[in-house]
Amino acid sequence: MERSPRSIRVVSDWRLASHIVSSVMGEYHGYYAGWAAEHCGGGLVALADGRPAGSVVYYTVETPHARIGVVYYVAVLPRYRGLGLGRILVASAEEVMDGSDIYVATTSESNVASRKLFHSMGYRVESWDSLERRLGPAPLEALEMAACAYEDDIVMYKEVTPGALSHIGAGDLRAARDAWDGVCLKPYLLRRRQARRRLRLAAWPLA
């Protein structure tokens, strides 16, 4: 763990935010973080004594009955862990997304650190199965699409407006589908086309 920095400053920089995600979690996640930060929301970077230390990528989804603030990625470089930067980054993303009726993030069952972080900040931590048993399939479907969360099995949410989660699945799910299309499907299709193009170029006979 790095010694406690003398100063911590949070700045908006989506490129650097996605680069940090890539450094911590790998190029695959960095690619999707960068797409979401550039096209759908934004990215914040925590500077510890002026040096990049961690980042958060976020975006909002306007459904007919509730505004969802999605904390999409949180990444802290290993040498800066244990200094409370995760809390600072999440709180900063919430501040940028002020006016949301509910904040949501997702993770895997094995990511204990992420679950502890969000729980400590007032988020309810729940499995998708538990959520569906309590509220039915409609809110779950809307939240999964809005948060692009099909690879995760844990949802973490904080309701600012009481009952917001129940209202998300009411009526038209078009906004949630549009969010899924913009955050998940478009970058996936682009990445696949780019991979196919590289394969074609690699197989092209040399003159």
| Domain-embedded: residue 50 | no
Helix crossing, 85-96 with 112-120: angle to 10°? 60
Domain that holds residue 186: 58-198
| Domain-embedded: residue 8 | no
DSSP the chain: -PPPPS-EEEEE-HHHHHHHHHHHH-HHHHHHHHHHHHHTEEEEEEEETTEEEEEEEEEEEE-SS-EEEEEEEEEE-GGGTTSSHHHHHHHHHHHHTTT-SEEEEEE-TT-HHHHHHHHHTT-EEEEHHHHHHHH-HHHHHHHHHHHT-TT-SEEEEEESSTTHHHHHTSS--HHHHHHHIIIIIHHHHHHHHHHHHHHHHHHSPP-
Q: What is the pLDDT of residues 31-78, one digit of tens each?
A: 999 999 999 999 999 999 999 999 999 999 998 889 999 999 999 999
| Domain-embedded: residue 204 | no
d(CA 40, CA 81): 28
| Domain-embedded: residue 62 | yes
Q: What is the CATH number of the domain that holds 148?
A: 3.40.630
Percent of the chain with pLDDT over 90: 75
| Domain-embedded: residue 81 | yes
| Domain-embedded: residue 142 | yes
Q: What is the pLDDT of residues 52-65, one digit of tens each?
A: 999 999 999 998 88
Percent of the chain with pLDDT over 70: 93
b vs e for 133-164, b when ≥16 Cβ sit within 10 Å of the residue's Cβ? eeeeeebbbbbbbbbbbeebebbbbbbbeeeb
Q: What is the mean pLDDT of residues 98-106?
A: 97
pLDDT at position 150 is 87
Single-letter amino acid code for the residue at 153: D
pLDDT at position 33 is 97
Number of domains present in the structure of the chain: 1
Q: Could you tell me the two tokens for 33?
A: 């973080």
Q: What is the pLDDT of residues 115-153, one digit of tens each?
A: 999 999 999 999 999 999 988 888 888 899 999 998 999
| Domain-embedded: residue 166 | yes
State the pLDDT confidence band at 93, using cuts at 50, 70 and 90: very high
| Domain-embedded: residue 99 | yes
